[in-house]
A and B are shown apart, each in its own frame.
Chain A
Amino acid sequence: MGLVVFTAHALHGTELSSLSLMDIAAIPANILRLIGEMLPPGQVELARIVPAILETLQMALVGTVLGVLVSLPLGILAAKSLSPNRLLYFSARGVVSFCRTVPDLVWAIFFVIIVGLGPLAGMLTLLVDTIGFAGRFFAEAFEEVDSGPREAFSAIGASGGGTFFSAILPAAAPSCINTSMYCLERAVQSSVILGLVGAGGIGMLLEEPMVWHNYPEATTVVLTIFAMLVVVEQLSGRIRYHILAN
């Protein structure tokens, strides 16, 4: 019941209910006009697009790798079954949640203020993004591991670190690899928009034509982004499949 009322209010709040028939009739024309302006795709010099793609991929790769490295210890602290004490557990959980729930564009703006314009700000954003995502799923993966081998190891007097590396990490590895590959995909995807706030990558190329309403050029950039993301998705799917099959 409450949901229905909220939905009704939401229809009003999103200004969908105030759409008049005239407005709706105008939408197809607007879209057609926009498509007309976007086509044919304009020319963007290769000398600008190739380095931008490379920068995007590099930001994503470094951000993900460093992020995964930070997420592993954070994931241990944030896993209920492994955390040394409750205070560490809650603070690790809090850090991971905070990294995840603050939108990446906000992080990007923050890092642009701290380290200046450029790919470094973007890379740090992706690092934080990865911590928020991988930290959560690593912790869940560690929690789901069968506790038998771990108990066996500690029963024969293995240290905490030894137990982790020989009992928990191997069991959680497939899930962790899966999460990491997904993080890489996500990082490439979000690194695309970071350029809009000046944090490096191919988004920078998008901002200029958008501001100047140069839609043909924007179309080219969007199609390039699309192609890049599809390739990355396919590639990471392939790699995931190979690693998990072994």
Chain B
Amino acid sequence: MEWLGFVNYAVFMAIFIGIYALLALGLNIQWGYTGLFNAGIAGFFAVGAYTSAILTSPFAEGRVGGFDLPVPVGWLGAMVAAGLIAWPIGKICLRLRSDYLAIATIGVAEIIRLVVKSESWLTNAARGITDIPRPFGDLAYTMSQLAYLAIVAGVLLVAYLLVERQFASPWGRMMRAIRDNEDAARAMGKDVPYRRLEAFIFGSALMGLGGALFAHFNRTITPEAIDPMVATFLVWIMLILGGSGNNRGAILGVAVVWIIWSMSEIVTDRLPHEYAVKAKYLRVFLIGLMLQVVLRFRPEGLLPEPQKRGPRPDPAASGARPPASPD
């Protein structure tokens, strides 16, 4: 049954791509559309993963939880919790300009990681939470994976459609205006700090949802999963490569990076043993190189942000009315 193995592997990759696509969509809202340099994705990922884990896992000695709630409640809770955590952080940090915001968010993610690692009453500290239910997890291997893929794909599709719609709306145009020329947007009477906060919370909630889907897929969440390398910077690479400001680009970037990352190991394993072990590092190098090449030759990413330009002096010619404030 060789082909079944390939199906399992492909389904696994698709699930993974779906989960990371949610993170990339969240980042796209923050960076791609609003220009917020959030380098703390791992933090919101962790909040979502742990919130859902605590809400849905069965009772365990020595920590909060054991609420045993249905999985969708956990996922909703994950989004709400990530959004709630994002609110005070955004309130404080969003006054900072790009690189300072990046530093502040790295710090915040690190604080969250240390809290997760230390507070055993909340997260069972370094040992992590196990026994998290996976929907349809009792089915046989392939069926269970397929069922989870269907769920992830459904969630991603809904998230994608909503985000797309949001950006085609006046709100989206306003966000781009704030990103490209803050002073002009302010002069137009837009409440810039408030709008930025909206985007920050919105994006963070999606990242939280991604974290929750990840925790349920693995049926366990440990602090190792929120390492900044795999939970923050990898997502950045995916978004930059795919094309920030373009939701399809974000998803494509995730697929390209993950497929190269994962399948390159199959290729390097064909090498003789002593090289095969060393070649594992080549994969890390390959991702970095790919980012360099894209930044050098195609800085807008594989799928650039769609530009709808009309002749400037005559807004009617572009077929759109002047953007109205959504308020």
Do A and B pair up? The answer is no
User: B residues bordering A, Cβ < 8 Å?
Assistant: none
